[in-house]
Amino acid sequence: MIECEGLVKIYKSDDLEVVALQGLNLSVQDGEMMAIIGNSGSGKSTLLNILGGLDRPSAGTVSVGPWDLLKITDEQLVEYKRDTVGFIWQNNARNLLPYLTALENVEMPMMLSSKLDRAYAKQLLDWVGLKDRMHNKLHQLSGGEQQRVAIAISLSNRPKLLLADEPTGSVDTRTSDMIMDIFRRLNREIGITIVIVTHDLSLAGKVDRVVAIRDGLTSTEFIKRNPNLDAEGSGLQAGINSAHEEYVVVDRVGRLQIPKVYLSALQITDKASMEFDGERIIITQPKSLEG
């Protein structure tokens, strides 16, 4: 569903250049439910905006399904955002129109694309647990209910890819669990690919895979989730550290993207020694040259 290789995004303002993404590699399978984690400034929101068609990449390759987002025209971009991708914001105001009912909010994107389907709109609200609240206006709904309306809206045009930017960031733990359960059910029942951007590591036990982006650079680590991981209670962080296996990215020409923290721990800067013992590749500090 998603393929990024050497993805670069540079923001320019007067004489200032900010590199938000520098050679990022990412692959997401069709039907996968995964999370992208990282601190503020790591580049995760920039990546999400590029995948959502809200921002243009500067260089590299990035494709979603049949769409090449580096070469896509403005007219094609409108079609892509309308038919291929759904977006959920942390800030409900970016998803919802306050003077409409929940049902009318879900129907609005359908009307804009001339595909009004009231029965499907009602079905979506039923899926997110708002069957009895669909005729309420937004001020009559709680923050968690509004976020569930936003999920229904994001699915109104039957997208193949759902992008969620901190979807549980402004709700309590109980509502967060409910929202993640909704994502999982939608992922399983309709097969939609879901990419969630978050800084919350507790979501690691609720998705298929986690990709951590660090420093806005090329260090993209894949964390393989243990399906038996208990995602409840204080043992979660310890479970993540002990039951997950980290991977480094190998690009098409065989280069490894090793996390900077590992290189720093070994005091490796520009060169490293590498050995193959028949089973493993061992990377160490450069051996001193004699003579």
Does residue 147 or residue 205 have the better pLDDT? 147
- Which of 108, 91, 107, 103 shows the shortest CA–CA distance to 130? 103
- List, in order, residues 6 or more apart from 4 with CB less than 8 Å away: 24, 25, 26, 27, 47, 60, 61, 62, 63
Could you give the percent of the chain with pLDDT greater than 90?
Answer: 21
Residue 144 has pLDDT above 90, yes or no: no
Q: Would you kindly state where each structural domain of the chain is located, as residue ranges?
A: 2-266, 267-291
pLDDT digits (tens, 9 = 90+) for 49-76: 999 999 999 888 999 999 999 999 999 9
Average pLDDT over residues 88-103: 81
CATH 3.40.50.300 assigned to 2-266: yes
Name residue 223's amino acid. Answer: I
- List, in order, residues 6 or more apart from 214 with CB less than 8 Å away: 38, 39, 42, 221, 259, 260, 261
State the pairing for strand pair 209-213/33-37: parallel
Kindly report the pTM of this predicted structure.
0.74
- Residue position matching structure tokens 């409840």: 232
Inter-residue contact 152 to 128 (CB < 8 Å):
yes
Cβ neighbours, 10 Å, residue 237: 11
Residue 112 has pLDDT above 70, yes or no: yes
Burial classification of residue 160, based on how many CB atoms lie within 10 Å of its CB (0-12 exposed, 13-18 middle, 19 or more buried):
middle
How far is Cα 173 from Cα 16, in angstroms, rounded to an integer? Answer: 40
pLDDT at 235: 39
- Residue position matching structure tokens 């098409």: 252
pLDDT at 249: 63
Residue 113 has pLDDT above 80, yes or no: no
pLDDT at 253: 65
- Residue position matching structure tokens 């206006």: 137
Name residue 168's amino acid. Answer: T
8-state DSSP, 284 = E
How far is Cα 47 from Cα 57, in angstroms, rounded to an integer? Answer: 9
pLDDT digits (tens, 9 = 90+) for 258-277: 777 778 888 887 788 888 88
Pick left, alpha or beta for residue 158 (phi over 0 → left; psi -120 to 50 → alpha; otherwise beta). Answer: left
